[in-house]
Chain A
């Protein structure tokens, strides 16, 4: 296994150019903490971003930060925190779920569109990513977007590449818009609600003027013996006081909420962000994105077919994290069958390599969309050398 570690963009281009002719596929690597995402790598060589590090631009008053792709995520977050700012989308840390160590990089956050609980209100990584520099599969430097948050100049390749898992290009530098950190954070917690009641509560809260920044429901047995329904408020202290009072009042039929402050609330949300309830088990883990009120419907339909399934809800019910036995197709057929009448889609996040090689890790697409997908892949990477087959077999 050859590992290429370019320290300049020109070197990265040269690496890609050198493998185009003999079609030696490359796997792209940041910190390696999320290497289990997607279908198993089919590449013999690795192109690493470890040699491309450092923050290249940070203008707090303009709410923008740029860094080379291999920069540790933590370095970016620390620089932002020093100026009272943060990434808006609360990126998940995959280390608990995958049992990996190593250092997550900012480039992988962009390449895999990694978001967390704040996504329901503040958007995903793709909504905050405003600029990229990358090497395409022809060994050319390509840039898209820039450093300003309002930019409609030309086709938006930034979003296309965000979440493409390295199949379209090797990111060398990424630029994100950032936000001020909230002055205060508080969590309201209701106990003992059913899935349907919990998601109904979250829907009402998200449809209120009080702007919950995160909304999750944990069925009984995940974090203690009782089900927990959670709303997170982020604001100035006087607003938090007022808004939590109004929410408790308007959602009075669900009981009186506890108010979690400080580390207890933060730990709970970190577990939700990282799906850490499923850490260290042998189960396969799926991520279902669907219409929020369909979350409980999907979960109960799946539970009828897979009685050992465990799950919880983020994004107001619209994100279901699901753990099922990893044998056979890891539940692919019953899970996708359950989603069929509802809409939405399922992604297999964690499973043994053999399973991820044999089932569709990403939701199969309609025939015309699959054709577009293959065409886009070819337009960036005609020789098929960048993470071939990572998202879809043969693409």
Chain B
């Protein structure tokens, strides 16, 4: 695939590479600076592997001060900077360019402070999402946003993309769970925003930074909310003959005043792929599956499930399968959370991430199927049903350039459909390079210009993750 354009590398920067590397080597210890071809190779892409560019150099600082020194240097030298967490972006948010320095936060992976009385943890940006929960789970606490990549993805990357997960119906996404950050600005100044208290003063810069895709600065530390876990949690499988019936059941559950902690949807192709991989005991004779998780004491879960089952029966549910043990519960989630990996075993795929108003679900499922079939391809659907965040997986063969182009075109058609029915291009993966050129479908010129003027307050020179989010043409500097 080569449909997405990158800016032409700055020949002047490429010519100055040796002097830039020498400059960087004065700022960080030798082991923090990666310059050889072989060692730079792992940083040439992220989880959007169809695109790769070998960066000028990679720096892996260990302190905020080192990040500040490197950023100030790059600013002075006019060298683009690509902030990187763990490199799990599905949108190409961490893909570099030949004239850029990657600044990775992976070595900054310490948990600095846990404060149970105030329900916050202070962590470095390179800590993985799951490590935060791991550090507090013995006391019965957890960190709520849980993207499928949570074993690998970093808190810094989560903040960059405002990551979500399966449980945000009840607990919100990253922006709802971050109370403070330490951020290095492009000029090397270090700012503290927020802290262990709620609602930082002044303009909501935390709200702006979450989801800013590394274009405003580099977050090196964060204060996140930790929550006490419920007494118990139980995922339950509901099999329906059709996607329409499953969708109607979701609407009816919410209409009855019940907000389950998670409601995940899988269509028939997705069920088959995930079951073959995870052996989770998914029913194979249904057209759509919901995983609904309830929380509380045993009696509370029984009561809430009874209400949900009654509603599901009114909508034609054919299978209700409760997890009877922690192992069964884990298997149910394993099937869902490994959906992307399991799909990758049978075919190459691209994963879309649009969100739609949930009322549009039957229409959108039908149209998506038509779109993908129109290109002669197949689609499997897994998504967060409660909030309308779709994840259609378009299957293709990446060794066939024609098919690869068709898959990308089908994906773009699906995202346009999401916007057309009142939704958006991306619910939790971010724009990155992948959806950059579709931004004009969702936003008009005034909308985008206002965003770019805000961006310019932090980076007038377009040095921070420059090829991302905003179309390459028509960029506003101030």
Q: Which chain A residues have a beta carbon within 8 Å of chain B's beta carbons? A: 59-64, 84, 113, 115, 119-120, 123-124, 126-127, 136, 140-144, 146-160, 162-164, 168, 179-183, 200, 203, 206-209, 236, 238-239, 242, 289-293, 315, 318-319, 343-345, 347, 362-363, 365-366, 368-369, 372-373, 375-376, 378-380, 391-392
Contacting pair B198 A119 (CB below 8 A)? yes
B455 at the interface (CB under 8 A from A): yes
Please give, as numbers and ranges, the residues of chain A lying within 8 Å of B388 by CB-CB distance: 62, 148-150
Closest Cβ of chain B to A344, distance in Å, is: 4
Closest Cβ of chain A to B293, distance in Å, is: 15
Indicate with 1 or 0, residue by residue over B288-307, a CB within 8 angstroms of chain A CB atoms: 00000000110110011000
CA distance A359 to B176 in the complex (A): 31
CA distance A319 to B117 in the complex (A): 15
Which of chain B's residues has its CB closest to A339's CB? Answer: B197
Please give, as numbers and ranges, the residues of chain B lying within 8 Å of A392 by CB-CB distance: 202
B375 at the interface (CB under 8 A from A): no
Known contacts A152-B426, A242-B300, A318-B197, A123 near B176 by CB under 8 Å: yes
Interface residues of B in 244-285 (CB under 8 A from A): 251-252, 254-259
Contacting pair A143 B199 (CB below 8 A)? no
CA distance A380 to B297 in the complex (A): 50
Contacting pair B164 A150 (CB below 8 A)? yes
CA distance A148 to B359 in the complex (A): 11
Known contacts A64-B357, A148-B423, A289-B198, A207 near B119 by CB under 8 Å: yes
CA distance A151 to B207 in the complex (A): 13
Q: Which chain B residues have a beta carbon within 8 Å of chain A's beta carbons? A: 115-120, 140-141, 161-162, 164, 168, 172-173, 175-176, 185, 189, 191-193, 195-208, 210-212, 228-231, 251-252, 254-259, 296-297, 299-300, 303-304, 355-359, 384, 387-389, 422-431, 435, 439, 442-443, 446-448, 450-451, 453-458, 469, 478
Which of chain A's residues has its CB closest to B168's CB? Answer: A150
Contacting pair B251 A61 (CB below 8 A)? yes
Contacting pair B228 A148 (CB below 8 A)? no
Contacting pair B447 A143 (CB below 8 A)? yes
Number of A-B contacts (CB under 8 A): 250
Contacting pair B202 A373 (CB below 8 A)? yes
Contacts A207-B116, A207-B117, A379-B454 known; list 5 others, CB within 8 Å.
A61-B358, A124-B198, A150-B355, A154-B469, A362-B201
Known contacts A61-B251, A113-B204, A372-B458, A152 near B196 by CB under 8 Å: no
Closest Cβ of chain B to A89, distance in Å, is: 11
CA distance A188 to B239 in the complex (A): 41
Known contacts A242-B300, A291-B118, A368-B189, A61 near B201 by CB under 8 Å: no
CA distance A208 to B119 in the complex (A): 11
Please give, as numbers and ranges, the residues of chain A lying within 8 Å of B424 by CB-CB distance: 146, 148, 151, 153
Please give, as numbers and ranges, the residues of chain A lying within 8 Å of B443 by CB-CB distance: 143, 153-154
Contacting pair B204 A239 (CB below 8 A)? no
CA distance A167 to B30 in the complex (A): 47
Contacting pair A146 B428 (CB below 8 A)? no
CA distance A203 to B384 in the complex (A): 32
CA distance A155 to B203 in the complex (A): 14
CA distance A143 to B448 in the complex (A): 9
> Can you list 6 contacts pairing A with B, beta carbon distance less than 8 Å?
A140-B446, A147-B423, A151-B355, A157-B450, A206-B119, A379-B478
For B203, B206, B304, the residue with the greatest tally of chain A CB atoms inside 10 Å of its CB is B203
Contacting pair B207 A160 (CB below 8 A)? yes
Task: Out of B168, B201, B210, B478, name the residue touching A347 (CB < 8 Å).
Answer: B201
Known contacts A149-B387, A151-B427, A368-B185, A156 near B202 by CB under 8 Å: no
Contacting pair A209 B202 (CB below 8 A)? no
Please give, as numbers and ranges, the residues of chain A lying within 8 Å of B164 by CB-CB distance: 150, 152
Closest Cβ of chain A to B3, distance in Å, is: 20
CA distance A292 to B453 in the complex (A): 37
Please give, as numbers and ranges, the residues of chain A lying within 8 Å of B357 by CB-CB distance: 59, 62, 64, 147-148
